A = this chain, B = another copy of it.
Amino acid sequence: MSTANATATRGRPKSTAKKAQIFEAAVNLFLEKGFDGTSMDEIAERAEVSKQTVYSHFRSKEDLFSYCIAEKCVSYELSPEFLDLERPVDQMLRVVGRKFTDLLHSDDAIHMKRLLCASAEQSPVLSELYYEAGPKHMIDLLTDYLRRQAERGRLKLDDPRTAACQLLHMFLGETHLLRLLNLRQTVDQEAVNDYVDACVDMFLRAYR
């Protein structure tokens, strides 16, 4: 059991490895079975850790849950680098569409969204975290890209944010809803790609 702790205290330091194990177990269980459907005993068992250790790292179940969601949200942050202003707009938007739908139709993202919808009533704080790291961040990136391309005269639009919302929400389409409702276990990648292409074509016909 290797151990590392930043602040030097007396006695045996808390194992960051154990904390990671707990997080890993908890996040997977929460995503699979929801908050209410997951028990602390289950988490401890899957983490191969005693229940007391779970409570020594996290004050309560809610606490652990928040930690999991917050941690997960961080991983959703997309880097803006891939939005290349030099590439042809249609090509670039197709790439964006593919990346975006890949991410959003993934099991992980679907489970996450379900979880947040379910917990939205009790804790909008977590929704906030998710929204900022995920959807809002993506909209901001695309808005910026569209504005710049408009300035270059490659697109004709006066409200880049509205346009970004339109395109991204179109991308989601029926597949996303079907996945969310658990009516599709697998994604027909080809069909999604065709749909994305159709959206880009349509978008560009409208915005030059």
Contacts and interface: CB of A to CB of B under 8 A. Distances in A.
Interface of A: 32-34, 36-37, 113-114, 116-118, 120-121, 124, 127-128, 130-131, 135, 139, 159, 162-163, 165-166, 169-170, 172-174, 177-178, 180-183, 195, 198-199, 202-203, 205-207
Enumerate the 10 nearest inter-chain pairs by beta-carbon distance, A residue then B residue, closest first.
A127-B181, A120-B182, A118-B118, A205-B206, A36-B36, A206-B206, A117-B117, A202-B206, A114-B117, A124-B182
Contacts of A121: 32-34, 114, 182
B177 A135 contact: yes
Given A135-B177, A166-B199, 17 more contacts: A33-B121, A34-B118, A36-B36, A36-B37, A117-B118, A117-B181, A121-B182, A127-B182, A128-B181, A131-B177, A162-B198, A165-B173, A166-B198, A169-B172, A202-B207, A203-B206, A205-B207
A120 B198 contact: no
Q: How many copies does the complex hold?
A: 2
A34 B174 CA distance: 25
Given A202-B206, A205-B205, A181 B130 contact: yes
13 contacts: A113-B117, A114-B117, A117-B117, A117-B181, A124-B183, A127-B182, A127-B183, A128-B181, A130-B181, A135-B177, A139-B174, A163-B202, A169-B170
A155 B76 CA distance: 39
